[in-house]
A and B are shown apart, each in its own frame.
Chain A
């Protein structure tokens, strides 16, 4: 799991959209698993900052959307959606509409949808940034568990340094305009992790130092 940290406007989300094939690079190329990215593909799942659920569909049908668009048969879709509902802890809310769910539950559903086609790479664009701190911490922990279960490569964009260091094995630090990778900080720590682990706070200090060296006030990234 890799995290990308940087201030607003450093191009974190742009980088994620490049990896996901939603944007084309002006120069150079992006490759994922040895394959060039030329457009969105089924091996990449994306979870956006907002849940982007279809308000007229229940949770199960929302999660099944990628499979529906890919032409997966209905019964297979249903089975997989059920499985994912359990995985993200939304059991019992299969038919609930997004407006009936809390922000955290909506983001769980969005996460499940991103996993629907069993992607080998999961791109997360500040998925929990709109949630309150308590919900965010809980979802961070669940994401860690999920990552262990699904064995998916995760690229997480965030402006939350502790979150990045808690979740990632590697934290890439981007500077403000122009967006450049100014540091590549490994987080040496086994799993499952806990928030208080010293390795995480060490990594967090290293990230902050790297940001300061690049001339970005750390306050802008959120401590």
Chain B
């Protein structure tokens, strides 16, 4: 059996090397550009610190344990918020896809909630649910909900009618149809929504921390900028947030690869 060679497929000698070279090249260009802006503009470190200053501060802050406790808090908020939001969104998306009534009743609220800026909602949620974990999880869940619900709805709706007829001919129960046919068939779309959702969850956690909280990377940004006036630390925190977002995104992509597989 022959398999078509896919240029984008990882793990093939020359292609992989070339890809890695490109990734590295892009990173170098980014860092050099950053450095050039600092040099040409003559910016002091409290406006725009140079990349090596941020790098050094990043390593030192982690070594001294300045960032770690905040990162753990934020990561917990993101994880709980994402799991809650995405879990509910898959169920809601299924209902939206399969019930006209659910679509009519729910979709106005769904769209309205999405159109309302989370930045405006966050202080309210903090007011109602306090400045603890609950309010952040809620904000994360809220922001994750929309993309996952919509992609689930689209995915479930586009399940081949032939598969559903097959399920009926095999006398599959409602639950069997959902778990063996519909959800697996819609999985690529559902996971696509989760990719978007997981990056938004990071935003949600930071916004939630800004609205009220005494721990987390969002709080650390405020501390670094305000009372500490340590702008390199602020950048180091931003770098941490970006790395968390990137890692979570990669985790979803890996899960997608494992579950959906190549050439699906």
**Residues of A with Cβ closer than 8 Å to B?**
20-22, 39-42, 46, 48, 50, 52, 54-56, 65-66, 68-70, 96-97, 99-100
Which residue of A42, A52, A54, A96 is within 8 Å of B171 (Cβ)?
A42
CA distance A50 to B180 in the complex (A): 19
B35-70 at interface with A (beta carbon < 8 Å): none
Q: B13 within 8 Å of A by Cβ?
A: no
CB-defined contacts of B3 to chain A, threshold 8 Å: 100
Q: Is B117 an interface residue (CB 8 A)?
A: no
Most buried by B among A21, A50, A65, A97: A65
Main SS at interface, chain B: helix
Q: Given A52-B163, A54-B181, verify A46-B260 contact (CB < 8 Å).
A: no
Q: How far is the CB of A138 from chain B (nearest CB, A)?
A: 19
| Known interface pairs A56-B184, A56-B260; A22-B169 also in contact (CB < 8 Å) | yes
- Docked CA distance A50–B264 (Å): 17
Partner of A20, one of B169, B181, B264: B169
The reply to whether B184 and A96 contact each other, CB–CB distance below 8 Å, is no
Residues of B near any A CB (own CB < 8 A) = 1, 3, 160, 162-163, 165-173, 176, 180-181, 184-185, 187, 259-261, 263-264
Minimum CB–CB distance for A127 against chain B, Å:
13
- B169 contacts A97, C-beta separation under 8 Å: no
CB distance from B238 to the nearest CB of A (A): 39
Q: Which residues of A contact B260 (CB under 8 A)?
A: 56
**Bound: A40/B185 CA distance, A:** 23
Question: Is the CB–CB distance between A69 and B176 below 8 Å?
Answer: yes
Instruction: State the Cβ distance, B260 to closest chain A Cβ, in Å.
Output: 7
Residues of B within 8 A of A41 (CB): 171
Pairwise interchain contact B170-A66, C-beta atoms closer than 8 A = yes
Chain A neighbourhood of B187, CB < 8 A: 56
Q: How many contacts between A and B, using CB within 8 angstroms?
A: 57
Q: A56-B260, A65-B180 are in contact. Are A46 and B169 (CB under 8 A)?
A: yes
SS class of chain A's interface: helix, strand, loop or mixed? Answer: loop
Residues of B within 8 A of A97 (CB): 261, 263-264
CB pair B171–A39 under 8 Å, yes or no, is: yes
Identify the closest chain B residue to A110 (Cβ): B166
Q: Can you list 30 A-B pairs with a CB-CB distance of less than 8 A? A: A22-B169, A39-B171, A40-B169, A40-B170, A41-B171, A42-B171, A48-B162, A48-B166, A50-B162, A52-B162, A52-B163, A54-B181, A54-B184, A54-B185, A56-B185, A56-B187, A56-B259, A65-B170, A66-B170, A69-B167, A69-B176, A69-B180, A70-B170, A70-B171, A96-B1, A97-B264, A99-B263, A99-B264, A100-B1, A100-B3
Nearest chain-A residue to B3 (Cβ)? A100
- B166: chain A residues at CB < 8 Å are 48, 52
5 more contacts with CB within 8 A, not counting A48-B165, A55-B264, A65-B180, are: A42-B171, A52-B166, A56-B187, A56-B261, A97-B263
CA distance A18 to B263 in the complex (A): 36
Chain B residues whose C-beta falls within 8 Å of the C-beta of A55 in the assembled complex: 264
Q: Are A69 and B184 in contact (CB under 8 A)?
A: no
Contacts of A68 on B, CB cut-off 8 Å? 180
Most chain B CB within 10 A, of A48, A52, A96, is at A52
6 interchain residue pairs of minimum CB distance: A46-B169, A52-B162, A66-B170, A69-B172, A52-B166, A40-B169
Q: Which residues of B contact A22 (CB under 8 A)?
A: 165, 168-169
CA of A56 to CA of B190, assembled, Å: 15
Contacting residues, chain A, for B1 (C-beta < 8 A)? 96, 100
By a CB distance below 8 angstroms, the chain A residues around B185 are 54, 56
Question: Which B residues touch A50, using CB under 8 A?
Answer: 162
B263 to chain A, nearest CB (A): 6
Assess whether B163 is in contact with A54, with CB atoms less than 8 Å apart: yes
Nearest Cβ in chain A — how far from B158, in angstroms? Answer: 13
Q: Report the bound CA distance from A215 to B159 in whole Å.
A: 39
**Chain A minimum-CB-distance residue to B167:** A69
